[in-house]
Amino acid sequence: MQNGFYSLFDTALGRCGLAWGGGGILSVSFAESDDAKTRASLMRRAQDAVEVTKPPGEIAHVVADIIALFEGKARDLSYASLDLTGIAEFDRTLYDLTLAIRPGETKTYGDLARALGDITLSRRVGQSLGRNPFPIIVPCHRVVGADGMMTGFSAPGGTDVKRRLLKIEGALGPDLFDLLE
């Protein structure tokens, strides 16, 4: 879709990646099982991107904040410039609503569907968030099931990672497993 650059970087959750171009961030990838899979995830929106070991300015700031978040320091990444080229209008609108969910807060799929004008859009909301090319920045981890259940998180590590991120951000308190560590 777009050319650009990408960088892989180590975090407490593994080696993640971020791709960008002249219009902003093109994609973000959680750590996959190996670097090749992380690259492939990034390349869905950044075909022919060139690897850069030291990202520039704002991109370096975003990378540093992702690393800090995964180390347990709350961060708000809503300042990041996103390149929404090729993103469907429904998805753009939903991503804007999701960006408005502050650290420490959650919304349900139904909340977002209602904000879009129709509770029956809940499934479509989940599908759109499942293809979110900007996880962490567009904080789909802050969207939970109607009963507060950790559902619908397709990133590597699944709902365990979602729960961990929500705890870091203060949306969830410690549980029994935290007390056993």
pLDDT digits 0-9 by tens, 62-82: 999 999 998 888 888 999 999
Share of the chain above pLDDT 70, in %: 91
Q: Count the Cβ atoms, other than its own, within 10 Å of residue 112.
A: 24
Does 76 reside within a domain? Answer: no
Is there a single domain that holds both residue 61 and residue 99?
A: no
- Boundaries of domain holding 129: 89-173
pLDDT category at 15 given cuts 50, 70, 90 is: very high
End-to-end CA distance of the chain: 44
Which letter does DSSP use for residue 138 in this model?
A: B
Out of 35, 70, 105, a domain closes at 70
Is there a single domain that holds both residue 97 and residue 161?
A: yes
Does 82 reside within a domain? Answer: no
Is there a single domain that holds both residue 168 and residue 99?
A: yes
Quick one: pLDDT at residue 145?
Answer: 87
Is there a single domain that holds both residue 49 and residue 94?
A: no
- 102 vs 156, which has greater pLDDT? 102
Quick one: pLDDT at residue 173?
Answer: 77
Does 141 reside within a domain? Answer: yes
Residues 6+ apart with CB under 8 A from 106: 142, 143, 144, 148, 166, 171
Is there a single domain that holds both residue 52 and residue 101?
A: no
Amino acid in position 54: K
Residues in the chain: 181
Quick one: pLDDT at residue 147?
Answer: 80
- List pLDDT tens digits, range 123-176: 999 999 999 999 999 999 999 988 877 776 666 667 778 888 888 888 887 765
Is there a single domain that holds both residue 56 and residue 108?
A: no
Q: Count the Cβ atoms, other than its own, within 10 Å of residue 7.
A: 20
Residues 6+ apart with CB under 8 A from 141: 135, 153, 155, 161, 162, 165, 166
Q: Give the integer Cα–Cα distance in Å for 68 and 85.
A: 28
Burial 9-41 (b: 16+ CB within 10 A, else e): bebebbebbbbbbeebbbbbbbbbeeeeebbeb
Does 78 reside within a domain? Answer: no
Does 81 reside within a domain? Answer: no
**Residues designated catalytic:** 140
Mean pLDDT for 51-65 is 96
Is there a single domain that holds both residue 93 and residue 169?
A: yes
Residue 122 pLDDT > 70, yes or no?
A: yes
Is there a single domain that holds both residue 93 and residue 62?
A: no
Is there a single domain that holds both residue 61 and residue 100?
A: no
Is there a single domain that holds both residue 101 and residue 54?
A: no
pLDDT category at 179 given cuts 50, 70, 90 is: low
Number of domains in the chain: 2
Quick one: pLDDT at residue 117?
Answer: 95
Does 181 reside within a domain? Answer: no
Quick one: pLDDT at residue 1?
Answer: 47
Does 178 reside within a domain? Answer: no
CATH number at residue 15: 3.30.160.70
Out of 70, 100, 118, a domain closes at 70
Q: Give the integer Cα–Cα distance in Å for 4 and 166.
A: 31
Is there a single domain that holds both residue 109 and residue 168?
A: yes
Does 22 reside within a domain? Answer: yes
Quick one: pLDDT at residue 98?
Answer: 97
The pTM of this model reads 0.88
Is there a single domain that holds both residue 121 and residue 163?
A: yes
| Sequence-ordered strand ranges (E) for 41-161 | 50-51, 107-108, 143-144
Mean pLDDT for 43-72 is 94
